[in-house]
Structure 1
């Protein structure tokens, strides 16, 4: 890769949410901004004012490079009107309207930063990661990069019956409407490059965006300085952790049922919050797990890393997980992972090498399989240590944030090369054809095909 002077390029990261405490995709813009600034790029972050408190304390030296949009009265009214709607309906109704209002402010701020740039500019929209959600970033006066996107998920067949018929109808309607919305709001159709995390997401792109240049790049990465490996092997009673939002598709209820079936010296730490928190607390009490389960609520990344270093394994029984950054974070710490053989976690975990994958056949069989996997790792700590070591090596090889930013910045400069030459679509020298190596290096002993490739 040719050497480029980072100071010659202004990168404008546009994201409504940019906050590590929010978890999920909101953390992605923060990582990009942090590393780009460390490397000397003229990076700017445009986001909503709700992120001000954390970003001000995290980046005090770059306060003048973070630009906040305000909450408008119309957005507050729309949010109140849609509180009772199902999530799938909100995503293409009230949320879309609120996104349009917020994106208008993001776009205007980004355009002003482009116009004032002393050097060349790329605008990068890392979130939202949904491949079907329209992008409002267009006509900003500079090439736009979107993603990495990650989506195209369905429920496993054994759990599809749990999705209400009304919800299935709404999902079909949302997917149909998304093609229309992306033709009308064609930011993705005009983007210079779309990053996608996997072929599953490529297949889920709206029709209006399928003619753009698509580059495969993993969505998640790990801050290895924060998620350092544990220095001691586990001792005492076997201890497991769940980290994530407490929502229905994470299936923490099955994890509690599994814990109730295994020896009483096995314990569980639940890190995260969500609408099911009280229901899960009540379930734990009914199952007699009051002394074996600790609900920690929301924790910072540093607190989560410390907790994981004291556990035997991470357990993520989600049946609708596009990514699963926590899987990579646990692997970086040196923990084996027990996860569902579906979606993002199945892309990250190598069975019998870095962890154990549980088939999502149905709720009863999955509960039994979770219990069996926990007993196995709880009784054979040498196996868990070996898997944790292999997981750490896999993260170092493929999921380090530094390597991810290497790939992204290479694309930035190639886009600008094509832009200067007047090319409508840049000719990137990264081979992303099927079966080829993506911008992050793959290692054969660890590579696992995504569900859509099976």
Structure 2
């Protein structure tokens, strides 16, 4: 079996959906599967380091003058509007170049199947079609809106623009028929299936979880269990892991954290915020205005909040290893791979009962907080953190249950087992139809 992965990005540094094609390529190559990948050159340096022995299997699309022009024009727009306007044109332009290169590789290497894992948006069309081999797209994951009580997080203009785009998605997918002509569509959940444009609802669709966990990173030191040797139960470490953007709700976490340390004044509680983004400066100023001590030195025993910046996955695992819980207060999270990564480290998770985290967590391994209103959300975040702090045995049992759930359901190795079955079945069906 010879597989070609087509992707806009493949990167652990970019985070989010960009990590998915990288993991498909990584595990397939570990299993000696003949797989190639086409990706934009902006991830070239990282991929050269990770796949030093497989560089001949990775092909990069370079920026043209038109790429650079579209990127420049989109910079002045709000990020979400830019993504769905000039960003969309950029992705279609990249896919046009990708399609030309893919046609060459199909002939050169006798490719049996094409897999396009991202973009994960159910409504975004694909330029990859009529390639002479079966094409699989997904798993797609979307169909998200802000919770009702948080609509003001999105400007009226942004909301209006996105709704118009969604309403036109059926027409766009007919005009650019990659998903209509695909042999198989993968969706992460029923929400994403329902979000597919009407023209795709009768397609051959299989449900497959979007995210997985690379246990070689997130479990490499699990044997030296921090929680089993911890001596001072009054010292608590809470971790947030993710981008610092408005829809992640970190500003709400800071308010909840201030309330928490007021309630549990006898504890020394540290909140580590790991990640970078446009909101970092705003969040640091907010923490200062709330009277919280900020320190970027992880060894400072008096720090209450530590902004750690962006770290490698290996370093993130080290920080999680010494954490008592992870909190993800995101209000617009389709996936939430960090939830699974914390579970793999035997860390209980507090997350918003909205979107992706609700697909992973249950009452045995974490706490889901309903996003009914800003005031109640902050209060319930505080209460959830307080509950876990006051119940070490509960933290331990939730960590164990989360670990078992990841091992059984979200290991990338098990995910690749399933995707290989899907590949083989798609090739078989395609060849029978061709005959």
Query: Which band: TM-score by shorter chain?
Result: over 0.9
For the residues of structure 2 that align with 1:274 and 1:193, how far apart are their CA atoms?
35
Question: Residues 235 and 346 (structure 1 numbering): CA distance in 2 closer, same or farther, change over 3 Å?
Answer: farther
**Cα deviation digits, residues 113-143 of structure 1 (max 9, x gap):** 111124x511000011011111111122211
2:299 aligns to what? Answer: none
**Cα deviation digits, residues 324-381 of structure 1 (max 9, x gap):** 0000000000000001111111111112x10111111111111111111111212221
Q: How does 1:113-192 map to 2 (within 5 A)?
A: 113-118=105-110, 121-192=112-183
Kept in 2, the 8 Å contact 1:12–1:43? The answer is yes
Classify the secondary structure of the residue corresponding to 1:46.
strand
For the residues of structure 2 that align with 1:113 and 1:276, how far apart are their CA atoms?
42
1:73 aligns to what? Answer: 65
For the residues of structure 1 that align with 2:238 and 2:252, how far apart are their CA atoms?
14
1:298 partnered with 2:310: yes
1:344 partnered with 2:356: yes
Kept in 1, the 8 Å contact 2:346–2:403? The answer is yes
In structure 1, list runs of 5 or more residues that go unmatched: 1-8, 425-454
1:416 partnered with 2:427: yes
Classify the secondary structure of the residue corresponding to 1:343.
coil
2:240 aligns to what? Answer: 242
Q: How does 1:205-244 map to 2 (within 5 A)?
A: 205-228=196-219, 229=222, 231-233=225-227, 234-236=230-232, 237-244=235-242
For the residues of structure 2 that align with 1:129 and 1:186, how far apart are their CA atoms?
16
Kept in 2, the 8 Å contact 1:88–1:170? The answer is no
CA RMSD in angstroms comes to: 1.4
For the residues of structure 2 that align with 1:178 and 1:17, how far apart are their CA atoms?
23
Kept in 1, the 8 Å contact 2:27–2:413? The answer is yes
Task: Kindly state the Cα deviation for residue 111 of structure 1 after the two structures are TM-superposed.
Answer: 1.4
Task: Kindly state the Cα deviation for residue 235 of structure 1 after the two structures are TM-superposed.
Answer: 4.8
Kept in 1, the 8 Å contact 2:133–2:430? The answer is no
Classify the secondary structure of the residue corresponding to 1:226.
helix
Classify the secondary structure of the residue corresponding to 2:326.
strand
Classify the secondary structure of the residue corresponding to 1:116.
helix
1:310 partnered with 2:322: yes
Kept in 1, the 8 Å contact 2:153–2:247? The answer is no
**Cα deviation digits, residues 38-87 of structure 1 (max 9, x gap):** 11111001101111111111111101001111011111111111212233
1:254 aligns to what? Answer: 252
In structure 2, list runs of 5 or more residues that go unmatched: 295-302
Matched length: 414
Task: Kindly state the Cα deviation for residue 317 of structure 1 after the two structures are TM-superposed.
Answer: 0.5
Classify the secondary structure of the residue corresponding to 2:356.
helix
TM-score (norm 2): 0.93
Classify the secondary structure of the residue corresponding to 2:315.
helix
Classify the secondary structure of the residue corresponding to 1:422.
helix
1:450 aligns to what? Answer: none
Task: Kindly state the Cα deviation for residue 161 of structure 1 after the two structures are TM-superposed.
Answer: 4.1
2:2 aligns to what? Answer: 10
Task: Kindly state the Cα deviation for residue 106 of structure 1 after the two structures are TM-superposed.
Answer: 1.2
| Pick aligned residue for 1:388 from 390, 394, 399 | 399
For the residues of structure 1 that align with 2:84 and 2:214, how far apart are their CA atoms?
33
2:367 aligns to what? Answer: 356
Kept in 2, the 8 Å contact 1:266–1:378? The answer is no
TM-score (norm 1): 0.89
Classify the secondary structure of the residue corresponding to 2:209.
coil
For the residues of structure 1 that align with 2:153 and 2:29, how far apart are their CA atoms?
46
Classify the secondary structure of the residue corresponding to 2:213.
coil
Task: Kindly state the Cα deviation for residue 177 of structure 1 after the two structures are TM-superposed.
Answer: 2.2
